[in-house]
Amino acid sequence: MLAALRSLATPGTRLAISLSLRPSSAAAQDRRERLRAALAALGEPISTPLSGPDLADLFTRSRWRPVEISERSQRAGLVLAAPA
C-alpha cells in the first residue's frame, strides 16, 4: 500500500500514519502492555510492533523518507513521511 501511495505522491506530499513501534524503554513497554490489555478487553488484538530498522527498510522499499516530528508525536506512534 505504501508503494501504491508513493506512486501517486507529488513533491510536497506528506503521508501521516500511526504505526505500532517497538517500545524503547521499560516505561514504554508498560504503556504498551496497558494498551494491549485495554484492547483485549474490547476484543481487539494489538498490531505487531515495528523496530526502527524495520521501519527504515519499509520506507526505503516503498520510496518514502521520514520527516522530523516532535518527540511527543513519535511516542504516540505517529510517523510523517515524504516522497524519497
For the chain, the structural domain boundaries read 2-83
Task: Output DSSP code: residue 76.
Answer: T
How high is the pLDDT of residue 46?
A: 85
CA distances from 65 to 16, 38, 45, 77 (A): 12, 32, 28, 16
Rounded distance, CA 17 to CA 80, Å?
7
Query: What is the pTM (predicted TM-score) of this model?
Result: 0.72
Rounded distance, CA 13 to CA 81, Å?
8
How high is the pLDDT of residue 74?
A: 85
> What is the residue-level pLDDT of the chain in tens, covering all 84 positions?
999 999 999 999 999 998 888 888 899 889 889 988 999 999 998 888 888 889 899 999 999 999 999 989 987 889 999 999
